Structure 1
Amino acid sequence: MRQAADWYARLSADPHDAAIGAAWRRWHGQSEAHRQAWRYVERVGRRFAALQEDGDTAVRTLRAARRTELSRRQALRTLGVLSGGALLGWFGWRDTHLAGLVAAWCADYRTATGEVRDFLLADGTRIWLNAASALDSDYQPRLRRLHLLAGEVLIDTAFEDRPFVVDTAEGRLRALGTRFSVTQQDGHTRLAVFEGAVEVRTAGSGAARIVRAGEQLRFDRRAIGDPEPAAQARQAWSRGLLLVDDMSLAEFVEELSGHHRGYLGVAPEVAGLRVMGTYPLHDSERILGMLEGALPIVVQRPLPWWTSIEARR
């Protein structure tokens, strides 16, 4: 099942890659067990076929919407409406990415909840900002520096003599000619390297490690975790999709929360349920409805801005 889910994610991400297609056919023909697992994954995947089509439309819509930028005054008025009620302001601050975004309100690059954007930097480096993210750029004569203040960024670095670094609250990452993603989370940073390599150095202890292509890890201010295989699906959000390969429901909710307005939580008794599939990030409510139909859960909305996932009684 794990292998079948992995092949499904890879084929979904690169449907026109002849090498991946040939490798999948070899795997599929090796045994009846492989074919049975693949049939099951296909059945699950068909449940989300309509969502896939909506996701493609959403990507085109997002690209068109990038041409229009809300003025800062309009955004401030929106923030004022969101924080008008004491409870709404408190839970929005405590349980969503608003705290990081307010702190980084004047950042050079930023996205709102549910928004994914890409930017081309002065040196030709291309970056994608995930939802509810903020980033500062500081290009100097001898150094190219980005500072990730909140959320997640995918970076495709341009070749140049000046070093390229990304700073987070936990340390510094130095690109060694590469494509990689960085996520600022509570108390730690997550790094996934897809091409090249990245050197990690912690801010507290100075511990250092080189992370190679195909690896990912987490680190805090003092220690660097062990590397594990990088999930290629971690790049899919830049195309408006969330590719899920045997992820816990708790992890899924964490990924989805930046694209969902208001509080989104999951009860501990269902947090370990496994999720797979391809989901368009533009419609979190429909995604929750599909999950409710596929898993033994119920989605509760006691208030318009409060959503919780609980066990079905």
Structure 2
Amino acid sequence: MPTAVAVQTLASPALSRRHAVRLAVAIGAGAGGLLALGQSPLGQQAWRSASADLATATGEQQRTVLADGTRLLLNTASALDLRYSSSERLIVLRAGEIQIESAADPSPDPATGQARPLRVRSRQGWARAIGTRFTVRQYADDTLVQVQEGQVELQLRNDMRQTLRLAAGEQGRIAAQQLLREAAAPAAGLAWTQGTLVADDMRLGDFIAELARYRPGRLHCTPEAAALRVSGSYPLADTGQVLAALSQTLPLRIRSRTRWWVTVDRS
């Protein structure tokens, strides 16, 4: 099966886990297709989307309300699993970024009568909601947590004795070996929840890296253009429009090999 067809099929929201596994086996039976697909970033994203309880494609955002009333907003290329039990409410963030607005537990633990804790687990640790609204973003080496309302308690996966409580307006990181409290959470960091990308004298290289999260394919900024500065508010729904706007205000040349291979260079 051609890789492009396999990726599209695996990423389909209608594909069940069982069918995804069967398809993966079929691909693997033919000329090492599964190996090639699984080792590529696109293939890894497709597999996460196909096997996760909730997932979004590149450039897609999704709002959902869970059975307990908790509201979720999934950002681009995000995937998570829901592991609710009689003793806890656990959201496992496998990739990407989510915003959580916690709700009171309608089904307390029958053994204790206490409300079940609501926690988000990333690769580095946990974030426990304390009547709150907050965002969690999974990076390659750490997890960023930003609190908008209430409080959130962070816990390190490698050392559960380490905890850090964040209040509204604060942000922190869960790294491999430590919890870090950072400066106040920037308002621009929440712009994605309104469908925009906000830059305030931002390096163009960093801006393009963020914009690339919302655009399928490869979007690259050359070193010659990366040092330019950009400011403004840009709609995430149309990344092509954003690139066109940048080329009109900055000395840039947008070079497109195909729709999925774009380079931003200095003119």
TM range (shorter): 0.7 to 0.9
Structure 2 equivalent of residue 146 of structure 1: 91
1:265/1:230 CA distance change after superposition, 3 Å = same
Higher strand proportion (structure 1 or 2):
2
Structure 2 equivalent of residue 164 of structure 1: 118
Structure 2 equivalent of residue 93 of structure 1: 40
1:294/1:218 CA distance change after superposition, 3 Å = farther
1:171/1:104 CA distance change after superposition, 3 Å = farther
Query: Cα RMSD between the aligned structures?
Result: 2.6
Q: Distance in 1 between matches of 2:210 and 2:241?
A: 15
Q: Secondary structure at the match of 1:225?
A: strand
Q: Distance in 1 between matches of 2:89 and 2:142?
A: 23
Whether 2:58 is the aligned partner of 1:116: answer: no
Structure 2 equivalent of residue 217 of structure 1: 172
Q: Distance in 1 between matches of 2:204 and 2:140?
A: 19
**Equivalent pair of 1:101/1:132 in contact (CA under 8 Å):** no
Q: Deviation of residue 123 (structure 1)?
A: 0.8
Q: Secondary structure at the match of 1:105?
A: helix
Structure 2 equivalent of residue 65 of structure 1: none
For normalisation by structure 2, the TM-score amounts to 0.78
- Which deviations, in whole Å up to 9, do the C-alpha atoms of 1:27-54 show, x marking residues without a partner? xxxxxxxxxxxxxxxxxxxxxxxxxxxx
Q: Deviation of residue 70 (structure 1)?
A: 5.1
Q: Distance in 2 between matches of 1:167 and 1:126?
A: 17
Letter of the 1:99 counterpart: Q
Structure 2 equivalent of residue 185 of structure 1: 139
Letter of the 1:209 counterpart: L
Higher helix proportion (structure 1 or 2):
1
- Which deviations, in whole Å up to 9, do the C-alpha atoms of 1:112-168 show, x marking residues without a partner? 111111000011110000111101111111111000011110111112321110001
Q: Deviation of residue 294 (structure 1)?
A: 1.4
1:176/1:186 CA distance change after superposition, 3 Å = same
4+ aligned runs moved over 6 Å, structure 1: none
**Equivalent pair of 1:101/1:133 in contact (CA under 8 Å):** no
Whether 2:143 is the aligned partner of 1:200: answer: no
1:70/1:188 CA distance change after superposition, 3 Å = closer
Whether 2:229 is the aligned partner of 1:270: answer: no
Moved more, 110-119 or 212-221: 212-221
Structure 1 equivalent of residue 5 of structure 2: none
Structure 2 equivalent of residue 227 of structure 1: 182
Structure 2 equivalent of residue 103 of structure 1: 48
Segments of 5+ residues of structure 2 without an aligned counterpart are: 1-11, 28-32, 106-114
Q: Distance in 2 between matches of 1:287 and 1:251?
A: 14
1:265/1:217 CA distance change after superposition, 3 Å = farther
Q: Deviation of residue 101 (structure 1)?
A: 4.1
For normalisation by structure 1, the TM-score amounts to 0.67
Q: Secondary structure at the match of 2:180?
A: coil
Structure 2 equivalent of residue 293 of structure 1: 248
Segments of 5+ residues of structure 1 without an aligned counterpart are: 1-68, 81-85
Structure 1 equivalent of residue 211 of structure 2: 256
Q: Deviation of residue 185 (structure 1)?
A: 1.3
